[in-house]
Amino acid sequence: MSGTIIKSARNTPNAPQDLGPYTQSVAFSHYNNISAQLPVDPNTGKMIEGDVAAQARQCLSNIKAIVESIGHVMDDMVKATIFLKDMGDLEAVNSVYREFFPGYLPTRTVLAVAGLPLGAAIQMEALISNGEGTFPQAPCALVKLARNSDKAPQCALSTHTVAFSHYNNIGAQLPVDAASGKLVAGGIQEQAAQCLRNIKNVLESIDVPFDDIVKVNIYLTSLADLEAVGEVYSTFFPDSAIARAVAYLPARSVVSATALPMGARVQMDAVISHGDGTPPQLVEDRHNLVIRARNTYKAPRSPLHCQSVAFSHYNHIAGQLPIDMATGKVLTGCIREQTAQCLGHIKTIVESIGHMMDDIVKVNIQVANIADLAEVDAVYTRYFPSYLPARTVIGVSELPAGALVQIDAVMSNAESTPPQA
């Protein structure tokens, strides 16, 4: 592994194991990445019987078992993502979710997808604060900063923004007007603009510039809307004269959802650099903190995002499609060939910035047919033959350019970015 900070990758028998080539929990620096948990009984290794509420409780119980196995509590969670097979199940899931978060609420993203592993009705992943850090960092009683803004729509089950250490996590923003609490009038462009405006309002409420965003996830119910969303997106990024001067764009992934809350056509969440840190860290001079965005011509480039954006001890890799570099189009081939192409692009990006695949702490995979997962895994394990990152897999109804698979990643960045050591 690159650098001196050590990843801490751990499994517990109290949560399901051997469901795929991944580690349940991978910590690096001050964050801990929890693999998506299915409603599987760890004692039997099989899906539980019962309705979606029972499945939701099992997913959360599995997360809780992992969190507690590494000396943490559920209130250490900063972000939860819920993947549903049917958005109509959300109310039942919410009733269970409240049991696990009776007071503090992490940020949250909810979407319905075309398929989940094992035919599950629900799957959940989590991001956990990791105050003790990883070797050789010394433990530090860092404080989460959970905040809401009156200028963005609020939710009874999530917080707008939860900062910890040098990152800030913004929960999914729907195209909802904060004053009325309803979806904005208009089409996809109006909805996309409202999502981005809500994110901007949240950031302004905590005195954070919009160009401090390092990664954006866009969830669409129709990829036919992607070009129109891109037109709006390009009016928000870059946001400042400094960012325009260096053509800064955050990393980005686009995810196809079968449905979104409130019948929205689009929602967006974001990861933000948080240079001032959280107590007891000392406030840094933001003008000296560096967000390091990089591209290589050896992997597909986009006018709307950077391939890799590093800040502090993490590096965010944009969603990679199986693009043939010779033609600029999706590779003609089977799911195995397309998976190898996506992972090959990630490997190229990672190595272009002096890292290696073992520096990856979390991988997100979207497949057009969840039944292809075994074929994906056959290729995946060639790129991760020993150490396995945390992982989330979903089935989607469509992918850009008719691809069969798309993959993004979060990578450890032991060398950090200036002036952090």
CATH of the domain at 301: 3.30.1330.40
Specify whether 131 is located in the same domain as 9: yes
Output the pLDDT for position 288: 63
The pLDDT value recorded for residue 297 is 97
**Beta strands 77-84 and 46-47, pairing class:** unpaired
Three-class SS state of 108:
strand
Whether the predicted pLDDT of 285 surpasses 70: no
pLDDT at 243 over 70: yes
What pLDDT is stored for residue 265 in this prediction? 98
CA-CA distances (angstroms) from residue 157 to 26, 110, 153, 160? 26, 11, 12, 10
pLDDT digits (tens, 9 = 90+) for 386-413: 999 999 999 999 999 999 999 999 999 9
Report the percent of the chain where pLDDT is more than 70.
97
Counting the structural domains of the chain, the total is 3
Average pLDDT, the chain: 95
Check whether residue 271 and residue 331 sit in a common domain.
no
pLDDT of 141 reads 84
**111: Cβ contacts below 8 Å, ≥ 6 apart:** 82, 83, 84, 172, 219, 255, 257, 259, 260, 267
Q: Please write the tens of the pLDDT for every residue from 198-232.
A: 999 999 999 999 999 999 999 999 999 999 999 99
- Would you say residue 338 has pLDDT above 60? yes
Tokens coding 237:
């990024």
Provide Rg for the chain, Cα atoms. 20
Looking at the structure, tell me whether residues 15 and 80 fall in a common domain: yes
Is residue 242 very low, low, confident or very high in pLDDT (cuts 50, 70, 90)? confident
Provide the residue range defining the domain that includes 404.
292-421
Task: Clarify whether residues 126 and 254 are in a common domain.
Answer: no
94 and 165 inside one domain: no
Task: Give the residue from 92, 118, 140 where a domain finishes.
Answer: 140
pLDDT in the model for residue 43: 96
- Dihedral (C-alpha) 69, 27, 203, 107: value to the nearest 10 degrees? -30
Of 88 and 275, the structure prediction assigns the larger pLDDT to: 88
319 shares a domain with 205 = no
In the chain, the percentage of residues whose pLDDT exceeds 90 is: 91
**CA–CA–CA angle 144, 77, 64 (5° rounding):** 145
pLDDT band (50, 70, 90) for residue 275: confident
In this model, does residue 385 exceed pLDDT 50? yes
pTM, full prediction: 0.97
- Are residues 256 and 326 part of one domain? no
For residue 187, give both structure tokens. Answer: 């089409």
Higher pLDDT among residues 139 and 82, named by residue: 82
pLDDT for 407 equals: 98
94 and 79 fall within a common domain: yes
Judgement on whether residues 255 and 333 belong to the same structural domain of the protein: no
Q: Mean pLDDT, to the nearest integer, of 170-180?
A: 97
> Is residue 283 over pLDDT 50?
yes
**Residue at a domain's end among 273, 289, 305:** 289
- pLDDT at 287 (0 to 100): 56
Q: Which of 252, 234, 364 is nearest to 305 (CA)?
A: 252
Contacts of 410 (CB under 8 A, 6+ apart): 33, 314, 315, 316, 317, 360, 361, 362
pLDDT for 2 beyond 70? no
330 and 219 part of one domain: no
Angle between helices 90-100 and 52-69 (to 10 degrees): 30
Statement to judge: residues 16 and 130 lie in one domain = yes
> What does the pLDDT look like over 98-133, one tens digit per residue?
999 999 999 999 999 999 999 999 999 999 999 999
Strand partners, 369: none
Span 308-327, average pLDDT = 97
pLDDT tens profile 37-90: 999 999 999 999 999 999 999 999 999 999 999 999 999 999 999 999 999 999
pLDDT band of 421, cuts 50, 70, 90: very low
Kindly tell me if the per-residue pLDDT of 298 is higher than 60. Answer: yes
Final residue of a structural domain among 125, 140, 155? 140
Q: Supply the pLDDT for residue 1.
A: 42
pLDDT of 138 reads: 86
Q: Mark whether 76 and 97 lie in a shared domain.
A: yes
